[in-house]
Amino acid sequence: MARAAGVSQATVSLVMGEKWRGRVSEPTAEAVRTAARELGYRPNLAARDLRLGRTRTALLVVPALTNEFFARVYTGAARAAAEHGVGVVLYPSPEGTGPARDPFASARATLDGVIASSMAAEALADIREGGLPLVMLDSDPERPEAAATVNPDIADGIRQVTEHLLALGHRRFAHLAADVDSWTFRVRARALAETLRGTAGTVVRTEAAALEVTAGRLAAERALTAPGPRPTALICDSDTLAAGACKAARRLGLRVPDDVSVTGFDDLPLATALEPELTTLRLPAEAVGEAGMRALVAVLDGAAVPPTSLPVELVPRASSSVASP
């Protein structure tokens, strides 16, 4: 293989052992991989893992998979895991967005590392204390226990939504905020306040709600019927809350977007099932899962992995328009 790639045996060993980063250039590594494919080479993963004391198994901890975002995170993680010959054990938190119980009594014996959403990892103390590498998704990059973090750029997403509505003339807002104590939702509230601070005459009312349609409807009804001038735009922390907000507007005899604009977050299929279709933020869920798995593999290989931030995209649709008087 070294002769076919035109490199030394040591270089082949580094590349096939996934220890080439920082030692071998990407073109050289690709030349070795190409030679391996052409020669039909398959590494003896079992022997290598026995030598390294690895099980080639990663635990992915997410909230309940009824949330499609996390189902797509799993899809991306599983795709990247397959490329590296890693098995994925999926553990949806039984409490949904709450803490996850430790699913393994002897995690060190069964796992190489853990990838976890900040919304479902708080109770995995036994795993963390066991010294397993931990990659956090949608989580504070400063978390000391995380070997790496992978985040959609949540703050920029909220800025995009808010600036979109400001450009349409909106100045009175209600924020339907997820009633979940998680870094991602604290970032959304902070980014909204910071963006509005730069425009005179803006006001925002916050209504907390559980991440479900009925709770979103009730929160929107409170915001739209509170004393004082009615908000002209509802900024929702999820598409599910936005669906509830649209129901609230209809029940109150208001038209979306003529009387009140509504925006969501996630770009789930629900966003285009609503009428009018929902202006929302598209998050790269599969890319988050892929990057999280690649980060864990790199950490296991001894690499230092800097925090990863993935871009998000505003998707303007018919639920937002020029502000009503």
* pLDDT at position 73: 93
* pLDDT at position 47: 40
pLDDT digits (tens, 9 = 90+) for 39-55: 766 554 444 443 444 56
Neighbours of 303 (CB within 10 A): 15
How large is the average pLDDT for residues 252-269?
97
Domain ranges in the chain are 2-43, 47-151+285-310, 154-283
Out of 3.40.50.300, 3.10.20.70, 3.40.50.2300, 3.40.50.880, which CATH number does the structure's domain 154-283 have? 3.40.50.2300
Which uninterrupted H or E stretch holds 107? helix 107-110
Question: Which DSSP letter does residue 149 get?
Answer: E
pTM score, two decimals? 0.79
Task: Give the least confident one: 88-92, 160-164, 202-206, 286-290.
Answer: 88-92
Q: How far apart are CA 124 and CA 323, in angstroms?
A: 46
pLDDT digits (tens, 9 = 90+) for 264-285: 999 999 999 999 999 999 999 9
pLDDT digits (tens, 9 = 90+) for 204-239: 999 999 999 999 999 999 999 999 999 999 999 999
User: Cβ distance 135 to 115 under 8 Å?
Assistant: yes
Neighbours of 210 (CB within 10 A): 17
Provide CB contacts within 8 A for 83, sequence distance 6+: none
* pLDDT at position 106: 46
Mean model confidence pLDDT for the chain: 86
Burial annotation 306-321 (CB, 10 A radius, 16+ → b, else e) = ebbbeebebbbbebbb
Can you name the CATH fold of 47-151+285-310?
Rossmann fold (3.40.50)
Which residue type sits at 206? Answer: T
Question: Which DSSP letter does residue 265 get?
Answer: S
User: Sign of the CA dihedral 9, 13, 19, 25?
Assistant: positive
* pLDDT at position 118: 74
Do 47-151+285-310 and 154-283 share a fold? Answer: yes
Task: Give the least confident one: 15-19, 101-105, 302-306.
Answer: 101-105
Neighbours of 277 (CB within 10 A): 14
pLDDT at 263 over 80: yes
